[in-house]
Structure 1
């Protein structure tokens, strides 16, 4: 069960505690945990490690964040909210592009996100801001009521799948110290000695025609464009 008072600690409904200001804050704890996870992975952001980083006793940390599960939920929602999905004067396609680009950047900047499931996200400001942004975007283009949420979910599913792949690439590069480009380059022997061109004629023909160029971000944008074209046709 989510710790709503912590997730919504900055909301207008949150009550301010009376008395002397605490030495630490929940924000400071979450910021430290994210910094550690960015550098060394999610597992490294233990309560003990975060406490040491903040120079307090581990038990002191529990007075701010009751459990590791609460801490991870706060970390997730914080990076979701940091995308800052506020946009004025943009077309609906540009708004989706903003969401897609910043979500991809989020996974690359915080590759530990690939280690958690966002199927059941923390119901905090970050999650709600994302849903509000996408539903508002789809609500303004003339879709039937029954298709608005489906379109928003379809965009979310595509963007997150591609963004997680980019995050996984960043995580593997960081852990191994080797880029994916270098990893493929080391496997040149496979293509020269083991790849059977007769057993894979379609791949071979496409390679000879230069069809394997312009992957990565270009492929991501290509797929998103096709998805948005389909949504636009549904409106028409």
Structure 2
């Protein structure tokens, strides 16, 4: 499916909703639901059925109310996407403890966990981010760790962008296999096994000498599942990124 994107709704209305400061309710009957209930239901639909299944009508069905009643709280699906993305980012529950590197690793692990718990986040482009507490708390957490590391102000913002790009990109890439397995019923490991004939009958050792040498050096030997390999790659990439940042302190 085509990716959804955050930041596409009415700016004033979306920001007010993200910070739970909607317009004062009109006099009359007490609302049947809250914005939090709508967001929770929307996340549940996306978790269970994918982001493509999430619509205002489907969320209303989940809540057992009429679709139009949702629009009195949330303008539409575009704004709801922002609320959902920021809502799951709030689940990270970041704790500032340990060295600056420990804190960045904690941030990375908690962010990665969010993507695995909510694979539909892979389908949300946050180039124009949801400016809510979930996102902003994470930004502040990383910036504080980098500042405490002793980086100059400009280095802090550049290092922050590099960390954000790596963590979100790597986490999103990891859940691709998870989504495909759920959609097709076939694991990544099974998919590769079914293509063993490529290596046996089609792979040209003279055309790809570096890959061949790595193969003979047993560099591709699997240690666990694809998920295990993805975790090792994530940890390795993050450690090398932090090594590079730390090198700028010397």
TM-score, structure 1 as length reference: 0.93
Cα drift, residue 137 of structure 1: 0.7
Corresponding residue of 1:179: 187
Deviating above 4 A after TM superposition, structure 1's stretches of 4 or more consecutive aligned residues are 13-20
Counterparts of 1:159 and 1:141, CA distance in 2: 19
Question: Quick one: distance in 1 between partners of 2:230 and 2:238?
Answer: 13
Over the aligned positions, Cα root-mean-square deviation in angstroms equals 1.7
**Structure 2 Cα separation of the partners of residues 19 and 104 of structure 1:** 44
How many residue pairs end up in the alignment?
232
Asked if 1:210 corresponds to 2:215, the answer is no
Q: Cα distance, 1:96 vs. partner? A: 0.8
TM-score normalised by the chain length of structure 2: 0.88
Residue 166 of structure 1 pairs with residue 174 of structure 2: yes
Matched-pair contact (CA < 8 Å) for 1:113–1:167:
no
Measured in 1, the distance between the counterparts of 2:113 and 2:212 equals 33
Over residues 190-216 of structure 1, what are the superposed CA-to-partner deviations in whole Å (9 max), with x where a residue is unaligned? 111111112111111111211124531
Structure 2 counterpart SS, 1:163: helix
Query: Partners of 1:196 and 1:76 in 2: how far apart?
Result: 45
Deviation at 1:15, TM superposition (A): 7.7
Aligned to 2:158: 150
The whole-number CA distance in structure 2 between the counterparts of 1:27 and 1:67 is 15
Is 1:6–2:17 an aligned residue pair?
yes
Report SS of the residue matched to 2:219.
Answer: coil
Q: Secondary structure at the match of 2:213?
A: helix
Identify the range of structure 1 (208-217 vs 137-146) with the bigger mean alpha-carbon deviation: 208-217
Shift of 1:5: 1.7
The one of 76, 83, 88 aligned to 1:79: 88
The answer to whether the aligner puts 1:200 opposite 2:211 as a matched pair is no
What are the ranges of 5 or more consecutive residues in structure 1 without an aligned counterpart? none
Q: Residue 60 of structure 2 corresponds to which residue in structure 1?
A: 51
Unaligned runs of 5+ in 2: 1-9, 224-228
Return the alpha-carbon distance in structure 1 between the equivalents of residues 143 and 66 of structure 2. 44
Aligned twin of 1:125: 133
Q: Hey, what's the Cα distance between the residues in 2 that align with 1:132 and 1:20? A: 40
Q: Aligned pair 1:221/2:235, yes or no?
A: yes
